[in-house]
């Protein structure tokens, strides 16, 4: 474990004016709080916070961040409290420690909805003080460096979370070295055979060709000396994961992969960067399409550099990055450069990005997303995508993620331009809207009055901003269609209980549901934001009781202990009258599956979690939803008649989704609330007898068919 003296010495190398007393106090406090605690490896637990602090000294961070690293687990894992830390070290450090604690408690690799909400919390924490995420990234880096002490299952979980979330986040913040190391450490766990294979091939290549890096470095230095340019040159082989990713993307073997070496040239001035570029291109042939000028067009995280790829010795491709020392400092530490110190004072790096500005740019478009899944989609698209730079006809630069289309370009300029887009010209040539844009292209958006967003644009757009704007516009455009569908659903549901869905009844429902008017009720019913049962109960809350004495839904399953609650599995949607079994879940109760559900195979080796269950005898209420897959003729009045048929069978439609529209047929998924298996049979028989119904069947695993992925649990 690093001693307090060694830690202070590391800080003093870049900040001679460091508050040594503060560092000593934090070191002693952390060691005292963690006394008696040990890591999986058997080391004293406090060795971990000290190692995290040492990692942060490599980025020359301020005293508050170093102290936060030393204390980052105290509030979560020891008897220390926020108030105790604030009283001893001040509110700033207490807030930082509390922020890291909250990030640690976020389950970023949990289910989609939880993950989206936790990403929101992650960005909120980052927006308050970005140093919180710097400490968390260093914490994750040290945990990955020492991951071998964990159980294999936990190693895999941590490695996957690192690959999916923390490595891309480090890259998005400009900390490329950390991204590469995190990816490689995760790669070591997730695919050790592939990593070992690449390392073996590297060793073989070195035996066959000698030290290529040393030879090319000497050649570059020689060319720069001839041109009278003073610069520092160094090269390296790319990380195994970086090489593996290239092999996967380009679908080629290691022997055919050429650009596995990277070189950096550090100059004294910006002008010399371009002089170096000229000298290198004079000596070696540039590879077309591999030149990027991030000096004239910096990345949003402050990264500046010139990238080029040339054919070196023996036709080997090598990547060259050219930048000044100040640019290099930002390239190494990214947004963290804002807090870095040099010679005891805050470093005034002209290329360091203001963290507040950076995080506001990153989160601006996410604030408009109300839907969890849409927010998560927007976060992932923006965090994990490389950028392309395109120009408007006036020469303004528009930054977009790689793979963006003219639709994304149009919405990046203004939502109004996006809505009115009918075509685009790229470099003066008319192109389809699904064309993928490339760096440096000039894009002209063609608009027309009266144009409205098309549903197909959602398949074309890639940015979160464009997709969110298109969805909002489509919701408005679909309002009339939703109202019409909602009226049919309401009529069927009300007739089911001998009532009529009059305007007066719908206005009453609107007041109960706190909506503007009856039209809003119908629109939400048609778009599946409300169920017909919710609307019905808003007007006639005593509906169920009028239908007679029925089995209480909470006591519908026999075989449970008094304190156990149950949920129906969404994958098989079991009904009363069908054979069922239960699978126990800690903290969640029992999930009830049909006896023939395919998902049960996942629990074959966990017999202690199985329960023998059966349904309570007697009439059940029509509250058990089942999804029907129905194909109907595309003709006037057919959908209304189908809804009427279902209503006449005393069943309620709770949701309706069109999954395929053809000129002559529609295929739709209808969620119907039923009493039992016999009730289901009656509904299917009635639909099957209709001449305009081409096919009807019960659908298993409806979430997968709606695009939600396979569901084995509720």
Stronger pLDDT, 299 or 258, i.e. the higher one = 299
Q: What is the pLDDT of residue 546?
A: 42
What CA–CA distance (Å, rounded) separates 617 from 451? Answer: 59
Average pLDDT estimate for 163-186: 83
What CA–CA distance (Å, rounded) separates 698 from 625? Answer: 11
Most confident of 360-364, 383-387, 415-419, 586-590: 415-419
Q: What is the pLDDT of residue 112?
A: 46
Q: What is the pLDDT of residue 363?
A: 57
Most confident of 170-179, 187-196, 252-261, 375-384: 187-196
Q: What is the pLDDT of residue 578?
A: 84
Q: What is the pLDDT of residue 491?
A: 83
Task: Write down the pTM of the prediction.
Answer: 0.52
Average pLDDT estimate for 228-248: 81
Q: Answer yes or no: is pLDDT of 369 > 90.
A: no
Walk me through the domains of the chain, giving residue ranges and CATH numbers: 4-190 (1.10.3210.10), 193-346 (3.30.460.10), 359-477 (3.10.20.30), 549-714 (3.30.70.260)
Task: Pick the range with the lowest mean pLDDT from 58-67, 371-380, 484-493, 509-518.
Answer: 371-380
Most confident of 108-112, 440-444, 488-492, 653-657: 653-657
Q: What is the pLDDT of residues 633-688, one digit of tens each?
A: 888 888 888 988 898 888 999 888 888 888 788 889 999 999 888 788 888 888 88
Q: Which residue among 20, 77, 547, 598 is the active-site one?
A: 77
Buried b (16+ CB within 10 A) or exposed e, 547-565: eeebbeeeebbebbeeeee
Q: Residue 339 in contact with residue 61, Cβ under 8 Å?
A: yes
Q: Residue 282 in contact with residue 247, Cβ under 8 Å?
A: no
What CA–CA distance (Å, rounded) separates 687 from 645? Answer: 7
> First CA to last CA across the chain, in angstroms?
46
Q: What is the pLDDT of residues 575-609, one digit of tens each?
A: 987 888 999 988 778 999 998 888 888 888 888 88
Q: What is the pLDDT of residue 480?
A: 77
Instruction: Write the CA distances from 26 to 3, 39, 49, 71, 84, integer angstroms.
Output: 13, 20, 11, 7, 12
Give yes or no: 76 in active site. yes
Dihedral of CA 584/588/593/598: which sign? negative
Q: Answer yes or no: is pLDDT of 82 > 90.
A: no
Q: What is the pLDDT of residues 404-441, one digit of tens each?
A: 899 999 998 998 999 999 999 988 888 888 888 887 78
Q: Which residue among 20, 58, 76, 478 is the active-site one?
A: 76
The strands making up 610-615's β-sheet, listed across from edge to edge, are 557-558, 610-615, 580-585, 589-594, 566-568
Average pLDDT estimate for 21-31: 91
Average pLDDT estimate for 537-559: 68
The values of phi and psi at residue 61, to 5°, are -85, 165
What CA–CA distance (Å, rounded) separates 71 from 93? Answer: 9
Average pLDDT estimate for 247-259: 57
For residue 423, give the 3-state DSSP assignment.
strand
Listed residue (628, 629, 646, 624) closest to 575, CA to CA: 624
Q: What is the pLDDT of residue 142?
A: 92
pLDDT band of residue 273 (cuts 50, 70, 90) is: very high
Listed residue (431, 468, 438, 439) closest to 453, CA to CA: 468
Give yes or no: 28 in active site. no
Most confident of 10-19, 238-247, 383-392: 10-19
């Amino acid at each position: 474990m690093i001693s307090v003296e060694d830690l202070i010495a590391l800080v003093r190398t870049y900040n001679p004016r460091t508050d040594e007393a503060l560092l000593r106090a934090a070191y002693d406090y952390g060691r005292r709080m963690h006394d008696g605690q040990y890591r999986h490896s058997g080391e004293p637990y406090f060795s971990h916070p000290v190692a995290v602090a040492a990692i942060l000294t490599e980025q020359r961070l301020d005293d508050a961040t170093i102290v936060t690293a030393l204390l980052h687990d105290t509030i979560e894992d020891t008897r220390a409290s926020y108030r105790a830390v604030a009283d001893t070290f001040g509110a700033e450090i207490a807030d930082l420690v509390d922020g890291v604690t909250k990030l640690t408690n976020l389950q970023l690799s949990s289910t989609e909805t939880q993950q989206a909400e936790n990403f929101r919390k992650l960005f909120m924490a980052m927006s308050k003080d970005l140093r919180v995420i710097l400490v968390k990234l260093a914490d994750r880096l040290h945990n990955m460096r020492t991951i071998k002490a964990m159980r294999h299952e936990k190693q895999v979980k941590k490695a996957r979370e690192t690959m999916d979330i923390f490595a891309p986040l480090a890259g998005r913040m400009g900390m490329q070295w950390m991204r590469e190391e995190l990816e490689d450490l995760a790669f070591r766990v997730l695919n050790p055979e592939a990593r070992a294979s690449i390392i073996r091939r590297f060793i073989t290549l070195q035996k066959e060709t000698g030290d290529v890096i040393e030879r090319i470095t000497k050649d570059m230095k020689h060319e720069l000396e001839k041109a009278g340019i003073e610069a520092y040159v160094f090269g390296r082989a790319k990380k195994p994961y970086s090489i593996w990713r290239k092999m996967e993307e380009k679908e080629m073997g290691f022997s055919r992969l050429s650009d596995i070496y990277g070189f950096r040239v550090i100059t004294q001035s910006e002008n010399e960067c371009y002089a170096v570029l000229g000298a290198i291109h004079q000596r070696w042939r540039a590879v077309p399409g591999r030149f990027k000028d991030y000096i004239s067009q910096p990345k949003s995280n402050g990264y500046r550099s010139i990238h080029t790829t040339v054919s070196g010795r023996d036709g080997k491709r090598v990547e060259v990055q050219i930048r000044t020392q100040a640019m290099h400092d930002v390239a190494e530490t990214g947004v963290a450069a804002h807090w870095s110190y040099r010679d005891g004072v805050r470093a005034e790096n002209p290329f360091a990005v203001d963290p507040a500005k950076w995080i506001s740019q990153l989160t601006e478009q996410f604030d408009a997303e109300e839907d969890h899944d849409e927010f998560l989609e927007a976060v992932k698209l923006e965090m994990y995508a490389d950028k392309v730079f395109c120009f408007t006809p006036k020469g303004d630069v528009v930054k977009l993620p790689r793979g963006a289309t003219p639709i994304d370009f149009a919405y990046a300029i203004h939502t109004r331009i996006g809505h009115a887009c009918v075509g685009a010209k790229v470099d003066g040539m008319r192109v389809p809207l699904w064309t993928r844009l490339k760096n440096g292209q000039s894009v002209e958006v063609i608009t027309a009055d009266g144009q409205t967003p098309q549903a197909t644009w959602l398949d074309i757009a890639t940015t979160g901003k464009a997709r969110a704007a298109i969805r909002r516009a489509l919701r408005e455009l679909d309002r009339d269609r939703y109202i019409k569908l909602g009226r049919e659903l309401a009529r069927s549901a009300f007739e089911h209980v001998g009532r009529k869905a009059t305007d007066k009844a719908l206005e009453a429902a609107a007041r109960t549901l706190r909506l503007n008017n009856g039209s809003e009720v119908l629109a939400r019913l048609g778009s599946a934001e409300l169920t017909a049962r919710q609307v019905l109960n808003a007007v006639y809350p005593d509906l169920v009781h009028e239908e007679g004495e029925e089995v209480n839904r909470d006591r519908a399953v026999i075989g449970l202990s008094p304190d156990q609650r149950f949920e129906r599995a969404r994958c098989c949607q079991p009904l009363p009258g069908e054979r069922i079994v239960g699978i126990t879940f800690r903290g969640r109760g029992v999930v009830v599956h049909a006896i023939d559900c395919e998902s049960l195979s996942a629990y074959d080796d966990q017999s202690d979690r199985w329960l023998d269950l059966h349904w309570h005898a007697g009439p059940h209420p029509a509250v058990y939803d089942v999804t029907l897959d129905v194909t109907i003729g595309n003709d006037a009045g057919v959908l209304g008649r189908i809804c009427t048929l279902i209503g006449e069978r005393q069943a309620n439609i709770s949701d309706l989704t069109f999954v395929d529209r053809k000129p002559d047929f529609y295929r739709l998924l209808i969620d119907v609330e039923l009493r039992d298996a016999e009730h289901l049979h009656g509904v299917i028989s009635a639909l099957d007898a209709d001449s305009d119904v081409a096919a009807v069947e019960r659908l298993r695993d409806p979430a997968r068919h709606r695009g939600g992925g396979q569901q084995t649990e509720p």
